[in-house]
A and B are shown apart, each in its own frame.
Chain A
Amino acid sequence: MQNKTAILLIGSPKPFKSSSENIGKLLLGYLAKEGFATDIEHIGMAIREGAVDKVIHKVNNSDITIISTPLFVDSIPAPLISFLELYQNDKQKTNKKLIGIVNSGFPESFQNDTAIEVLRLFSIHNDFYWAGGFTIGCGGAFGSMDLHKSKMVKHIAESFQEAAICLSKGDTILKEVLEKASKPIMSTFIYVFFGQLGWYLQSIKYHNQFNLKARPYAK
């Protein structure tokens, strides 16, 4: 019997080291352990290289498509919307599953709900089977760190492992499993404290530490 296939589509515009790629690969890795043949595509690159049709073909032939993306202004980034606009439905497809993973800069995972809903509506309209959406806050905290070694995201790793088992059995992802991944990575206070410190430290590199509140368009 042929291996089942899973493709990860990355919605972050960053070509490498994005939180979306890192977290998406974590789930993809667990699917590989369950025997899935896996593949990865960056949506921004596919658009730039005129390879959208190739990616659509791959999606239509994969048993599972995972879209992992950052939250941009309460929704998915523009290039990923372009991809959804260009997507050509293969009405013959049966039981092809779609999964969303959205990570945000804000700590509360529910802030990703609107973006997950866009992915779910895309899925339904195009005859995918919506297998579930993961919403993850504090995306800036894990970036490109090794997620297998990080205690901070242990609950996400466990959730993804359980999700991969559900999916390998042909099931949808259980609600409890999705909810486990949405639990806070760290306290809001710590995230906000280090986040703000981070902006300040980054600005020093450009001698902008006293200029962060600039209002170039004030009239």
Chain B
Amino acid sequence: MKVLVLNGLNPNQPESNRFKDIVNSSFGLNSSGFEMVDLHTKKIHKCRGCFDCWVRTPGECFVKDDSQHICNLIINCNLLVFLTPIVYGGYSSYLKIMLDRIIPLISPFFVKYKGEIHHKPRYNKYPALLGLGIQSYASSDEVKSFKQIIYRNSLNLHSPFFHAETFMNTDDEASVKNTMIDIILRMEDLNYAE
């Protein structure tokens, strides 16, 4: 199973390194092809909203930076993991600047999917989606919103499976690690991998 973690943690927040290390060790031990991309170290421009990725250079953003390589990694992995602090129930800007650049991975054409209009897939297969959100204050509304966004993203990304898990930034290492390993094992059981 190829796992790609998009690390959208804020490098200026003290707990970021701790969570990054926990994810690294949990996944590193449990999956063969594992890669983590620290988004804050990458050159990623904000999306201009021009749709050139659909009509001018179909399937690829016209603006060249690290996003092309990351899109390539995304479409060729089995499990895509979003690691992010929960920012008002959503993602951090570090993660979202990359996610705004993934629309070349889908088609501009529309399809009715689960009773709603979405874009057609461009590729034959898309990764399953796992959201890992870290809260710096407890808010059940924010957890609910985060999980709902992961679900909505899984529809737009044609993910065969999705799951979202949230943690408090004060959670101790052992319990976070146990939860993560549990998720990994459950996902492997689902046998969506190659």
Could you tell me which A residues sit within 8 Å of B by CB distance?
A: 12-14, 18, 44, 70, 72-79, 81-82, 84-85, 106-108, 111, 114, 117-119, 121-122, 124-125, 188, 192, 195-196, 199, 202-203, 205-206, 208, 211-219
Task: List residues 100-121 of chain B with CB under 8 A from any CB of chain A.
Answer: 100, 102-103, 105, 107-110, 116-118
Q: Which of B58, B116, B139 contacts A212 (CB 8 A)?
A: B58
> In the complex, what residues of B have CB within 8 A of residue A75's CB?
90-91, 96, 149
Contact of B46 among A77, A107, A124 (CB under 8 A): A77
Question: For the complex, is B17 an interface residue (Cβ under 8 Å from A)?
Answer: no
Interface size on B, residues (CB 8 A): 50
Within 8 A of A (CB), among B47-104: 47-49, 51, 54-60, 71-72, 75-76, 87-93, 96-97, 99-100, 102-103
In the complex, are the beta carbons of B122 and A70 less than 8 A apart? no
Residues of B within 8 A of A (CB): 10, 46-49, 51, 54-60, 71-72, 75-76, 87-93, 96-97, 99-100, 102-103, 105, 107-110, 116-118, 122-124, 139, 141-142, 145, 148-149, 152-153, 156
Docked CA distance A154–B133 (Å)? 41
Ranked nearest first, the 5 interchain pairs of A and B with the lowest CB-CB distance are A78-B97, A74-B152, A78-B96, A82-B93, A81-B93
Choose one: B46, B118, B122, B149; the contact of A114 (CB below 8 Å): B149
Separation of A12 and B100 alpha carbons in the complex (Å):
12
Residues on A with C-beta less than 8 A from B96 are: 72-73, 75, 77-78, 81
Shortest distance between the CB of A45 and any CB in chain B (Å): 12
Measured between beta carbons, the chain A residues less than 8 angstroms from B59 are: 214-217
Q: Name the one of A78, A121, A217 contacting B89, with C-beta atoms under 8 angstroms.
A: A121
B109 touches A114 (CB 8 A): no
Q: Which residues of A contact B116 (CB under 8 A)?
A: 106, 108, 111
- Complex: A119 Cα to B118 Cα, angstroms: 23
Q: A114-B145, A122-B88, A217-B75 are in contact. Are A78 and B49 (CB under 8 A)?
A: no
Interchain CB contact (< 8 A) of B139 among A44, A121, A203, A211: A121
Contacts A44-B46, A82-B93 aside, 15 further interface pairs with beta carbons under 8 A come to A12-B49, A13-B48, A13-B49, A18-B49, A73-B102, A73-B103, A74-B149, A74-B153, A75-B91, A81-B92, A85-B10, A85-B87, A85-B93, A212-B109, A213-B107
Contact of A79 among B46, B76, B118, B124 (CB under 8 A): B46
Q: How far is the CA of A73 from the CA of B49 in the complex (A)?
A: 12
Look across to chain B and name the residue whose beta carbon is closest to the beta carbon of A71.
B152
Q: Which of B49, B55, B117, B145 has a CB less than 8 Å from the CB of A107?
A: B117
Shortest Cβ gap from A212 to chain B (Å) = 5
**Contact partner of A125 among B54, B88, B90, B110, CB < 8 A?**
B88
Taking the nearest CB of chain A, how far is it from the CB of B4, in angstroms?
Answer: 13
B137 to chain A, nearest CB (A): 8
Q: Report B29 CB to chain A, min CB distance, Å.
A: 26
* A114 in contact with B141 (CB, 8 Å): no
User: Which A residues are CB-close (under 8 A) to B76?
Assistant: 217, 219
Distance (whole angstroms) from the CB of B50 to the closest CB of chain A: 8
> Do residues A14 and B49 form an inter-chain contact, with CB atoms below 8 A?
yes
**A78 and B75 contact, CB distance less than 8 A:** no
Say yes or no: B87 contacts A81, CB within 8 Å. Answer: yes
Alpha-carbon distance A82/B44, docked complex (angstroms): 14
- The reply to whether A121 and B145 form a contact with Cβ atoms under 8 Å apart is yes
A–B Cβ pairs within 8 angstroms, 19 of them? A13-B47, A14-B48, A18-B49, A73-B103, A78-B93, A78-B97, A79-B93, A108-B116, A118-B89, A196-B108, A199-B54, A199-B55, A203-B54, A203-B55, A212-B55, A212-B58, A212-B109, A214-B59, A214-B122
Interface pair B89/A212, CB less than 8 Å apart: no
Q: Report Cα–Cα, A106/B106, bound state, in Å.
A: 14
